[in-house]
Structure 1
Amino acid sequence: MVVYGTAIWEETYREDPRTIKEIIDVDEETGEVQYELVEIKEYQDVYGAAVNIWNFYIDEDGTDFETAKDCIKREVLTLDEFKRIYSRYKNAEKVQAGGETDPKETDPKPEGDNKDEVEVLHYYNRPHDIYWIVANEVLVNDFGNPIPYKHKELPFSHGVLIKRLGHFYGLGFPKIIEGVQAELDTVRRMGIDRAKLHLSRPFLAASRAQLRQRDVEISPGKLIQVPNPRESLMGLEFSDTGSSRYREEELLKDDSRQATGIANPAQSVITGATATESALFKNQPLKDLDISLFKTKSGYLKELADLELKIFSSSISRKKKFTELLKLVD
């Protein structure tokens, strides 16, 4: 949320089937094991997970999940994992590996051989009560399959760091200080260029000296033969970068801190303070960050809790457990 300005959370009811080999008998003499295949539910409960915003597509007219009509969540699975999770659908057998499985992030993590991967798209449409699972352009479930939750809402919640009016996605710290960072990059590049010119200065050579570029490249102990050094070759002098450049950098950094509201840890050190006071001041930047996220977390977690409660109450198995629990309490 701090980087991209937006966090998306998916809250669903998850059932993961898995086939295991249940041991029936073991021959003590030969060590032969007799077993039978049994399907178990590895996970069967309310499940929540953060969604990569690069793998999420929201209705372009929606500003939140209450106004959005539909959305798509993208995931990439290996073919074996896809078969394990979606084997209960008959069309899952038609899915082959391939498709658009490349990462969508701006800085994707290194990927190995992705020939055995499958791109899975989960499409939710609230007005028409539709939930589709599309894997490599194959519709895995039925065409008229409804949203599998009684609340019939998009099973996602989201929070933003800085809200933009009329937009679904918020602003993160990098976007807020983007202009200041561009100025800071310019100042640093100019300082580096000035230092390079100071250390490796250019030369002015008379046309009659007939010098080549490699002749004036400086190296320790190098001899450059010219008729008259004072008249044939002259180096241009460039002063070193002054302290004003570093003061300009600090001023730009202060602008960034004021824009984000996060203090400089170095300015939190107080001479002569006790160990407790020093520790408190060192934690001040974290407190500033927590304050900036407090309002966002409050709304985000409330929305998430409401969604989880709806899914919790709509689960039949959970209803039975909840009823039994109430009887025990009574």
Structure 2
Amino acid sequence: MSLGRFPATRLRRNRHDAFTRRLVAENKLSVDDLIWPIFFTEGSGMQTPVASMPGVDRVSLDRLEAHVEPAVRLGIPALALFPVTPKEARDAEGTEATNPDNLMCRAARLLKRAFPELGLIGDVALDPYTDHGHDGVLRNERIHNDDSVAVLVRQSLNQAEAGIDILAPSDMMDGRIGAIRAALDAQDRSDVRLMSYAAKYASAFYGPFRDALGSGALLRGDKKTYQMDPANSDEALREVELDLAEGADMVMVKPGMPYLDIIRRVRDRFAVPTFAYQVSGEYAMIMAAANNGWIDRDRAMLESLLAFKRAGCNGILTYFAVDAARTLHYA
């Protein structure tokens, strides 16, 4: 069916002025779409910049409430929490993940007391806690899937007890969603949601994040036996389908912009709440170009976030969350 032709049809007419562009916009970015990943550490009085992520800091727990307060005031709905575990608390099994008084649990309790309505998303994986930097338990120099899942279940219950609202398994072990869901239900925690990192790729874009956590220098080998091959697209749909069948409430694609095609396929196929992580390398590239005067930071920031909405995302984990919220409020 023909929708018209030039000169009777002129698509530029609907771009003529600002109010028309607003009326016909197919997608909109709002503060409700933003999730802010934050890093926190032991100690006191600390606010340490992450060198490879300009504008991002690690903060000690005594500064966490003040650090988070602007995000709450701006209406950002949720935070994604990432603890910087000291080396002396790391071991081969990642046992600190199951410590009820670990850094993650103390941060969750603090934030829930200070901001009861703020959503807390807890990272479920062992790489912040292992001395080898991997997301699971190492057996004979290989990541053992089922032993890892057993620890991830205990880690999940530990975080739920501390007040985490949404557990976000980022480890990519097979079967972990079903095991965690069953354990939560058995402990009458069926209201705890699971946001599965269902399609997480073995990407070069994670480097600054590993710097922030202090796990990059510890990593032995790579994560290609459990994170996805960047060459694969159909496999992502299989991963998502399995996690949904096991009880995931929401799914995530990671990284973000290099994988917009995956986001679109996931949303079209499953029509479930779909999220993306604009990862540290994506953030660092935009900031590096902006700090060199090569691009307009605010325009690039908002354009990149709108791309996720256009691809089908319900929300975006982004280190730009606070700056984007401010910009949206005053636009």
Q: TM-score, normalised by structure 2?
A: 0.20
More helix by share: 2
Normalized per residue, the structure richer in strand is: 1
